[in-house]
Structure 1
Amino acid sequence: MPFTFLPDTSVIYNRKIIDFIQDSTLAEYQPIELDHVTEVPKITIILSRVMLAEVENQANQTKPQENVGLEVLQELYALMKQKKIHIETFGKRPTLEQIKLNPGGELDALIRKDAFDAKAILVTADEVQSSIALVQGIDVLFTMNLPENQKEQSAESDEAGIEEFFDDHTMSVHLRGHCLPMAKRGKPGEWKLEPITSEPMEPFSIAEIANRIIRTAKNDEQSFIERNEAGVTVIQLRKYRIVICRPPFSNSYEITAVKPLVQLSLEDYHLPQKIYDRLEIAEGILVAGNPGAGKSTFIAALSRYYLEKNKLVKTLESVRDLDVPPEVSQYAPLNGSLEQTSDIILLIRPDFTIFDEVRVESDFKIFADMRLAGIGLVGVVHASRPVDAVQRFIRRVELGVIPNIIDTIIFIDAGQVAEVLCLEMTVKKPSGFTDKDLSRPVIEVRNFLTNELYYEIYAFGSDVIVAPVGSKKRSNKRRIKESYPPLSGSKNGKSKYYGADDMIPCEIYRRKKAYVISVDPSLSNQYVNFYANGNLIFSATLNKQGEIYIRNNSPVFSKIVSTLKKRRDLFASLE
């Protein structure tokens, strides 16, 4: 003989009440004490007005679960129309005072009271609700008592809503209302956006998939909702990172799902032994690269490498989407703050923490604070060049501590380790400076494998200069060659020394905001005349390096440009 059942809010939102009706769980259920339940000719679902008020409130507040609750109520009504169940409502709507007391469990208490008064079996997925109801003498059908394999099958069937759009070569899927479903396929550095089908998707179809994803994330122990706000929901559904956008945040329903394509080990990158040795001692590593370059895959390989070295590894992620081994704990923002999470990590003291990703102002301060506290850090940043990863720290942390928090930069391009740089602090005269009195602290950025100097970072007045040197420097002489064809007498486009034998030779080259005319340094602070084709162009006093700067806004600037274009000789004279 069937009985009456009263579902609470938890089994409405996880759809278990529908599953129980369809798989005959309710029909076959045997209560513990028959005296406290009501036998009826047909399965009767009693809807508490407290539960209905909660569903209505969620819907009015445009919560992401709103469609789930309303959809389940509509399905219950459809089952009643099919004469599979009977539905009744029971109890009173909660008062304003009771709603205010809800954080303490007041509404749950009202639902238990309705179940007791109606002599119904309480159906719940809330462990606290179940335990208290049993103490109060209420018969309970608790969903956690279900066999584990039944839960897994339900999760897998729901997950197929997004999984069916993926294949072995698909990194991400992009679904949008009234548009073709698109997939990004290929490999790092060679991605192509391709249509999945030839038919556009309707917004209601995408909304249905979104609801199934949310339901699965709430019920699956390996999935979780990372961010849940009006208009957007971020979900980690097992291996899929999913972003669901809705109006008013988006002008249409939209789903973006991303999954890792491959799982590599560090050996798959064929790195020189010198880099392995560096990874053994490096404690402030930045992994940089463009979006989709393969940073997350490399980070996952690096985490496995450190685990093999018996290191304790944790991750600090805004969205926990790294494909790391189960031995690696993945931490999310605590109370919405990564700073609070970093406080916990300081107590745990792991050997290495992977920070994915360092992006906003507070992230850089957290990175610096944890490094100075002695924790090994691997930070992930978006950057189009290796040096850009360092530049993102400039002004956010003091220049002098940058080498103490960053010692190695690994740049990923097209899924491979394209370049490895190292940072060191020294005191010297920056390249290009002639006065020894201008020595200062300089951060040298070198190629780790060749030790070639690429960049120098130093303070110049109130500015911080990132100056390319060595093979990374684009010479000013080359700029002259690109702007104008080589003048007669020059070799290979190099700057020419202008003038006759009885005149003072001078060299002219271009800088960003000026032309520089260089004469003999022994003539520093001398007043000289400059001639072209026998005509006086201008007169000026040389600086202590024997040079004169002609800025772009100078009246003489146009004369210099005209002289170069007409391929005329330029020389200097003291007369």
Structure 2
Amino acid sequence: MDILPDTSAVIDGRVSERVAADDVDAVYVPEAVVGELEAQANDGRDSGWEGLEELQRLADLADEGGIELEYVGRRPDAIEKRDAGEGEIDALIRDLADRHDATLLTSDVVQSEVAQAKGIAVEYIEPRTDDTTELTLERYLDDETMSVHLKTDVRPMAKRGTIGEMRYERIDADPLSEAEMRSIADNVLNVARTATDGFVELSHPGMTIVQIRDMRIAVAEPPFADGIEVTAVRPIVKTDLDDYEKADALRDRFTERQRGVLISGAPGAGKSTFAQAVAEFLNDSGYAVKTMEKPRDLQVGPEITQYTELSGSMENTADSLLMVRPDYTIYDEVRKTSDFETFADMRL
């Protein structure tokens, strides 16, 4: 049997596993796959390095005489790379499988379905997942910890204390090694992708921001940062309007539906904490409430739907909400000019 893997199968390490089943004669690796892995590795993404390690395992198997290994096809051009999300590179890989009369090996369900529809022999393998939901960085947390700051070759730091009396302090005497930081970062990303209460909010080469339970966690990596860094922030207090001065006046103000309210203050002043108290008050008062957030980290009840950017734009989110017509919209993190323009368009 001859097989031709796509990028998903190589990254998951499924090709060498398949070879170990003793029924594979030849493995054809598309140059398009090598190009994707190389680009991911250059961007500092673990998936790229994992895929390159799998290619090395295949090379070792070929040297031992276990399989015939051949690199086939060509690198995708600039246009094909640009349109990768529309399936251009996947199409190149399918054509190669057909040309070499090889079984396409993939962990991509869409790739599998398209190949079957086109009459190409395909073997779909479930993508590998890590079922752990425990965060290793939680060992640094206690009831008074608002944020944890971890970085390669630096001693762990944290902000601890009560509201108004926060201290930025060392929480361990030993600096974290690169291997320890890599393990912590990988654990964060795995939990965000597999846990039911986690999701990836933002992902760029060198920076990933996730939300796991009540924690917003930023993972920075070279070349964007000068070392692996993980910053986890969480609320240590949840308030309601009764916790604020002039609570009765605030209630009257927020139910005057002819006017919007802009909450302003310095970073860390408690704007989002106050906003979520307002959202809960309005929801409890019988109003339909939605939020617009990036990232989505307001601690509100499940009755309040939390929206983020739609197709990369808060303007699109606003257009959708104008159709949904909630009674109130909470727009958290109004910072850029475009945010204020969207705020104005929403007539908040």
* TM value normalised by structure 1: 0.50
SS of alignment partner, residue 311 of structure 1: coil
Pick closer, same or farther for the CA change 1:16–1:304 going to 2, 3 Å. Answer: farther
Report whether the alignment pairs 1:177 with 2:152: yes
User: Once the 2 structures are TM-superposed, how far is the Cα of residue 265 of structure 1 from its aligned partner?
Assistant: 4.3
AA matched with 2:53: Q
The counterpart of 2:34, out of the listed 39, 52, 65, is 52
Of the structure 1 ranges 349-358 and 288-297, higher mean CA displacement relative to structure 2 is found in: 288-297
SS of alignment partner, residue 339 of structure 1: helix
Bigger Rg, structure 1 or 2? 1
Contact 1:53–1:94 under 8 Å retained in 2: no
Aligned residues: 340
Distance 1:94 1:219 in 2: 34
Contact 1:217–1:224 under 8 Å retained in 2: yes
AA matched with 1:134: Q
Distance 2:60 2:198 in 1: 35
User: Once the 2 structures are TM-superposed, how far is the Cα of residue 174 of structure 1 from its aligned partner?
Assistant: 0.6
AA matched with 1:50: A
SS of alignment partner, residue 302 of structure 1: helix
Structure with larger RCO (C-alpha < 8 A, sep 6+)? 2
Report whether the alignment pairs 1:243 with 2:215: no
Report whether the alignment pairs 1:110 with 2:89: no
Contact 1:115–1:122 under 8 Å retained in 2: no
Pick closer, same or farther for the CA change 1:54–1:182 going to 2, 3 Å. Answer: same
The counterpart of 2:121, out of the listed 131, 138, 141, is 138
Contact 2:202–2:210 under 8 Å retained in 1: yes
The counterpart of 1:10, out of the listed 8, 11, 20, is 8
AA matched with 2:90: D
Q: Aligned residue for 1:275? A: 250
Distance 1:43 1:218 in 2: 35
Distance 2:10 2:323 in 1: 40
SS of alignment partner, residue 236 of structure 2: coil
Distance 2:26 2:226 in 1: 41
SS of alignment partner, residue 301 of structure 2: coil
Q: CA RMSD in A?
A: 3.9
Distance 1:166 1:78 in 2: 39
Distance 1:218 1:115 in 2: 30
SS of alignment partner, residue 315 of structure 1: strand
Q: Aligned residue for 1:74? A: 53
Pick closer, same or farther for the CA change 1:294–1:190 going to 2, 3 Å. Answer: same
SS of alignment partner, residue 162 of structure 2: coil
Contact 2:10–2:55 under 8 Å retained in 1: no
Pick closer, same or farther for the CA change 1:272–1:251 going to 2, 3 Å. Answer: closer
Q: Aligned residue for 2:73? A: 93
User: Once the 2 structures are TM-superposed, how far is the Cα of residue 213 of structure 1 from its aligned partner?
Assistant: 3.2
Structure 1 spans left out of the alignment, 5+ residues: 28-37, 372-376, 378-575
More strand per residue: 1
Of the structure 1 ranges 38-47 and 163-172, higher mean CA displacement relative to structure 2 is found in: 38-47
AA matched with 1:55: L
Distance 1:5 1:324 in 2: 50
Report whether the alignment pairs 1:353 with 2:329: yes
Q: Aligned residue for 1:380? A: none
* TM value normalised by structure 2: 0.78
Contact 2:143–2:236 under 8 Å retained in 1: yes
Pick closer, same or farther for the CA change 1:40–1:234 going to 2, 3 Å. Answer: same
